[in-house]
Amino acid sequence: MNAAELKRRAERYGQEHLFRFFDSLPAGGRESLLRQIAALDFDLVDALVAKFVRRKGDPEPAGGIAEADILRLPRTGEEMRREREARAAGEEALRAGRVAAFLVAGGQGTRLGLDRPKGEFEIGPVTKRSLFRLHAEKIAAIRRRYRCALPWAIMTSEATDARTRQYFEENGFLGLPEDSVRFCVQESIPAVDFQGRIVMDAPDHIHMSPNGHGGSLKALYASGVLDWFCSLGADTIYYFQVDNVLLRIADPAFIGYHLLGGAEMSLKVLAKNDPYEKVGVYALKGGRPAVIEYSDLPAELAEARNPDGSLKYWAGSIAIHVLDAGFVRRLNEGVFALPYHKAEKAVPFVDETGRTVKPREKNALKFETFVFDALPLARRVACVETRREEDFSPVKNATGVDSVETARRDMIELYSRWLEAAGAKVPRDASGRAINPVEISPLTSLEGENLESWRGREVGPGTVI
């Protein structure tokens, strides 16, 4: 399509301002802008503007939400037996090479305020081991333990792709064979201002952002990663996010519950700290399994309690999933579109004079799809409760809740508990907190094993194991 045709198309959708600076651009700028415009899905943007700008979004109906079945932490002898059975089934799948690891790392990490992919962040409380390295070492340890291939795919976005690949190359693929790691790139989508106009951040450039972690389901398929997994015999995909420092990658019990339950997509949940903790809640919505974003859960439901005082909707999703490869394929080979959600953000924009402005105030809507919106599409779902202190501590913010500080503290606490269980002495303060920072490589211990040599020894400051 030539410039005139693209201009007419933009005009038809009320987006003619995309050509505002066109005539004064150098040839290179014109060309790259036209390429961007030609690739835009105007129908999609128009539908999102109609839904979220003109109609201000459909209010979430408070009705139709009910409690769902959840496998609680085992308490009775029978539940413990079932957990052992699940673990054995998961270990068998791992040993048979049926499991693949899938990390989504396309987000921009705006709350942390980094100018590089979040996975590079040096989170290790002593060694400053990066998030990517932490995950890579867990993967290496699982491969060794189960003698399996455990192929690893990492989803990036336009925003993180080049830098992420460079990081892996510069760091020798973090000790993993290069051909055991693949990257795929999710799609991006423009932001719109509060009038519904696509935001440009330079005279020759449309501001694009990754289309949410839901984009991973399409990226897996479109990139050929799903075929790669299947060619290696891996039909069970362990999905995780880059910022969770405690996460147990390829947790065999969780995989086992998924497989024994005949599930197509599964999720881990934990008991929310309070009614308003910022995690989505697992429940039935219109009779289907679903995760309801915290911002969409009406207060009367967030605060609803059982007769014993516990929260009725207690199960917070922590973005750890197992996906059946056939399910991902079925979604992509049928008509499949996850719903978009909107988020108000401060987005750089170009002013009338062609200058880029970085606003402090929110000025635009970004659109994202969420991976958990695939849950209602799955024929069966297994939802499994986990322990927060063993599986969930995300790095979202620089300080405060879910921050660098809380993640390091939770790592130190986990490693200290493992050492105590092995018979080591961990100095603790009056509140019971471990005093000395300690860090254990996943290559040494994945879940507290291999620490026998610490029996009777005291854990000093800055211990690295």
Interface positions with ligand UTP (CB under 6 A): 104-111, 118, 155, 157, 186, 210-213, 215, 241-243, 368, 396
113 neighbors 398 (Cβ within 8 angstroms): yes
Q: b/e string for 194-205 if b means 16 or more Cβ within 10 A? A: eebbbbbbbbbe
Strand partners, 242: none
Residue nearest to ligand UTP (CB): 107
Q: What is the side-by-side order of every strand in the sheet holding 192-193?
A: 192-193, 364-369, 340-345
Shortest gap between Cβ of 210 and ligand UTP (angstroms)? 3
Shortest gap between Cβ of 110 and ligand UTP (angstroms)? 4
Closer to ligand UTP by Cβ: residue 243 or 391: 243
SS3 of residue 316 by DSSP: strand
Distance CA 216, CA 50 (A): 25
Distance CA 34, CA 55 (A): 30
Shortest gap between Cβ of 109 and ligand UTP (angstroms)? 5
Amino acid at 33: L
Closer to ligand UTP by Cβ: residue 108 or 171: 108
Closer to ligand UTP by Cβ: residue 15 or 369: 369
Closer to ligand UTP by Cβ: residue 89 or 155: 155
Strand partners, 270: 316
Shortest gap between Cβ of 445 and ligand UTP (angstroms)? 24
Shortest gap between Cβ of 159 and ligand UTP (angstroms)? 8
Closer to ligand UTP by Cβ: residue 156 or 441: 156
Closer to ligand UTP by Cβ: residue 356 or 397: 397
204 neighbors 356 (Cβ within 8 angstroms): no
Shortest gap between Cβ of 285 and ligand UTP (angstroms)? 21
Tokens of residue 346, six digits: 């401060």
Instruction: Give me the half-sphere count of Cα atoms (radius 13 Å) on the Cβ side of residue 353.
Output: 3
217 neighbors 332 (Cβ within 8 angstroms): yes
